[in-house]
Each structure stands twice: as C-alpha cells, then as structure tokens.
A = this chain, B = another copy of it.
C-alpha cells in the first residue's frame, strides 16, 4: 500500500505519516526500487495502533519508547506492559475529569434551557447560578 492509500484509510496525512517515521515512531517503511514507501500489513497495524493511542492523547514520546521496545524483542515485554499500565491509569484519570466536565456542561445547559423556557420562578436563581 502506498502512502496516499494509507493516509486515506486511516485519516492521517501523508506528511504526518512521514513525520512519524522520521521521529522513529514508525520503524522505517520499506521502499520500492524508486524509493516509494510500500506499507506492509504489519506497518498498517502499527499505524492503526498509533492512531488509536494518539487519539486518546498518549504522548508521542511514550509511543516512541514503546515502539522501540517492540523492536528489541521479547525481553522487553515486562517493560512494555508497565508502560501500557501507566498510560491506562493516566487515561482513566483523564476520563474521570472529562466526566466531571461533562456533568458541569449538562448542568449549565439544563439551566439555560429553564431560562429560555421562561420558568420565571427559577430565573433569578438560575441566572445567578450560571452566569457566574
């Protein structure tokens, strides 16, 4: 698969794919004789994994470390597991924070709705509660 197809398939720009390779996030993709990247199945799985992790905000640095451990073979399995556990725990924390924010947003939206519907009784309170 060539870079444009990969880009299309995963919604990652060719520039970004090349960038990932440059910084060592993706191992060097094989080239055709004329120097054009040819992504293998394995490359695609790596791209998909990176896309997934990045979409949840895992830092590139961490992913580089992780990918390089993979390159180093089975002796790094324990370390890799620890990296993933650490990132999972951070992710859980962030999810809790997003939930809090979601609750606040839902509350505020509800209050706005009340105001708009003109429930006069609640208006004074509501305005005070929301507007600040």
Contacts and interface: CB of A to CB of B under 8 A. Distances in A.
A99 B95 contact: yes
A interface: dominant SS = helix
Interface residues of A, number: 42
Interface string A73-109: 0100110110011011001101101111110111011
Interface string A34-65: 00000000100110010011011110000000
Specify which of A56, A58, A92, A99 lies most central, judged by the most chain B CB atoms within 10 Å of its CB.
A56
Interface in A108-132: 108-109, 112-113, 115-116, 127, 131-132
Contacts of A29: none
Nearest to A42: B132
Contacts of A78: 116
Contacts of A45: 132
A46 B131 CA distance: 9
